[in-house]
Amino acid sequence: MKIVIVGPGAMGCLFAAFFAKKKQAEVWVLDKDARRAKRLRDSGITIEGTSGSFKVKVDITARPQDIKACDLVILCVKSYDTETAVKTIGPFLGQDSNVLTLQNGLGNIEMISEIVGRDRVVGGITSHGATLISEGHTYHAGTGDTIIGRIDGTFTVAMRHIREVMNRAGISTRLTKDVNGVIWSKLIINAGINALTAITRLPNGRLIELPETREIVSMAVTEAVRVAKKKRIKLIYDDPIQKVESVCRATEQNLSSMLQDLMKKKRTEIDFINGAIVRQAKSLNIPSPANTILADLVKTMEQGYAPEKTA
């Protein structure tokens, strides 16, 4: 299998390194920055953390025409860069190529489908935690399942092949017939944690140790669950608040990706997480004051430093 990973961020580097180390696929990374691509091509990708410490060389380019036809494209860019990124993959998108998104938030599958066609798109989530220490240097903070599926709920031969290759590379992966429910399940967790950690500058675990932040977490999650129920979305856990609190405990020292973005003065994915819940709630006439305030505060903080666009 030939795999192209779009975006050399924390997760992009982590997945590229896993595939390259296990030699389960021919791996390329597409970067939008030609100078960075050359540096990474020369220096390789370094991984530290829960999966051990190792370094691998990977083919990295900023020229889509260098890659040729592939079997799988994995999008590892921020949600606000999805449309731009997908428009660059044409030169190596073969007749039978699939596009996999494991990105945060809502709307990515729909955006990708509009450009490449719904039949090519596979969506899902990953529970791996990764932090970019520096260019091409990722700290692997934690492992977990990766769940993938198609919007129509079918299991194709290509999907099974993707699952097998990912599992052999050390990325524990399973298939689902309800990818929308899986994506919403992660969205609700992110809505309860990410924005509040970004605003308070607290690690995940502190949110449930302090009564004030624990209450806000509960409010944001409860609003999101009301929207999911109204849309008849089936979540993959029975007690959403208990689930979010268990994630906080399991990742107690972790700094959420949104907090990392604000600390680095980068644009966040707030519009695709709490902001998406607010938009969905409005369309259903459901109040969402907690998510509205969280989204507005993060956007205000962004405007305070005029974040640059990132890969």
Q: Which positions are catalytic?
A: 186
Residue that has been written with the tokens 């192209």 in this structure: 4
Q: Which of 55, 54, 11, 6 is nearest to 28 (CA)?
A: 6
Judge contact between 156 and 175, C-beta under 8 A: no
Please answer whether residues 139 and 131 qualify as being in contact, where contact means their C-beta atoms are separated by less than 8 angstroms: yes
Q: Is-contact 252 205, C-beta < 8 A?
A: yes
Strand 121-126 and strand 93-101: the pairing is parallel
Distances in Å between the alpha carbon of 165 and those of 151, 153, 264, 280?
A: 21, 20, 34, 36
Question: Token pair 């899902």 is at which residue?
Answer: 124
**Rounded to an integer, what is the distance from CA 61 to the centroid of its chain?**
22
